[in-house]
């Protein structure tokens, strides 16, 4: 029996993942070396506190709810991804697996396994960033823009609101690229992205679709406000840009399309905004046109 206890103690302390025995109130009764590495706290420091103190505030309610269900006998174990606040202040993602030990029907304590998944979560975040954001400008890409536009249309249909899409193309950008090179052109696109972002509100989205084509989503707007945003963009972009000691003048052609129709979809709304943008180019560029949706 004592040999088995010794084996358990060694397995517990030297386990490659965090292990802990926790009181029903959340106080750490026993922790292993791996958990001290995950949290940055020494064993003595952990034993004077509880898991609630180290848990990231936004994750605490879920953790406590699951723990309460364990104590009440509604479940025998649970698993969740959560965050700890490391002693250094950084955020550590962990996969937490918790089970309860009982004597008869009486709950005694909790046994937790804690695996550091910070690297995995960071990789997931990077992949998500790559899938939804433009590499050059860090703006949302077409995929994310269309997802947000679809959500905005659904919300507008429910709330009887108005959605606007601005489709923007930079006049003469190809000539700038051909004259000064793609490196300068890329820097110019980043500057345009920054200026466009400064023209919109917190609920709005500016995206880069491709090349020098940008779109702006105004999910809760009015006709006058959408026109005002277009005018502001024209005004902001009229200020000359200095890139690599080259002073460049850039102007936009903008098309605006509105959605207050239950049958409107993402593809058609973008199509109407795109058509209005080409109408702006035909009308002399550096202006905006509103789509006359058929």
Question: Who's near 110: CB < 8 A, 6+ residues apart?
Answer: 21, 22, 23, 24, 67, 70, 98, 99, 100, 101
Choice among 63, 204, 212, 274 that is catalytic: 212
Catalytic site includes residue 178: no
Yes or no: say if 115 and 94 are a contact pair by the CB < 8 Å rule. Answer: yes
CA distances from 55 to 32, 115, 168, 221 (A): 18, 14, 45, 40
Catalytic residue numbers?
212
């Amino acid at each position: 029996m004592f040999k088995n206890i010794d084996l358990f103690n060694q397995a517990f302390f030297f386990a490659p993942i965090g292990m802990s025995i926790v009181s029903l109130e959340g106080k750490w009764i026993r922790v292993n070396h791996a958990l001290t590495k995950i949290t940055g706290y020494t064993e003595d420091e952990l034993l004077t506190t509880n898991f609630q103190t180290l848990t990231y505030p936004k994750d605490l309610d879920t953790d406590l709810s699951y723990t309460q269900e364990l104590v009440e006998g509604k479940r025998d174990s649970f698993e969740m991804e959560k965050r700890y606040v490391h002693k250094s202040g950084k955020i550590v993602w962990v996969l937490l697996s918790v089970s309860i030990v009982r004597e008869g029907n009486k709950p005694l304590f909790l046994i937790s396994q804690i695996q550091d998944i910070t690297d995995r979560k960071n990789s997931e975040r990077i992949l998500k960033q790559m899938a939804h954001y433009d590499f050059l400008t860090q703006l949302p890409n077409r995929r994310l823009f269309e997802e947000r536009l679809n959500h905005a249309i659904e919300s507008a249909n429910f709330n009887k609101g108005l959605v606007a899409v601005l489709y923007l193309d930079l006049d003469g950008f190809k000539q700038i690229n051909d004259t000064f090179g793609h490196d300068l052109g890329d820097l110019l696109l980043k500057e345009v992205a920054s200026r466009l972002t400064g023209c919109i509100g917190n609920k709005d989205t500016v995206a880069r679709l491709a090349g020098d084509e940008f779109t702006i989503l105004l999910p809760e707007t009015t006709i006058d406000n959408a026109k005002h945003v277009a005018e502001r963009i024209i005004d902001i972009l009229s200020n000359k840009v200095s890139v690599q000691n080259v002073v460049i003048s850039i102007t936009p052609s903008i098309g605006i399309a509105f959605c207050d129709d239950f049958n409107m979809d993402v593809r058609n709304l973008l199509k109407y905004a795109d058509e209005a943008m080409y109408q702006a180019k035909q009308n002399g560029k550096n202006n905006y046109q509103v789509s006359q949706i058929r």
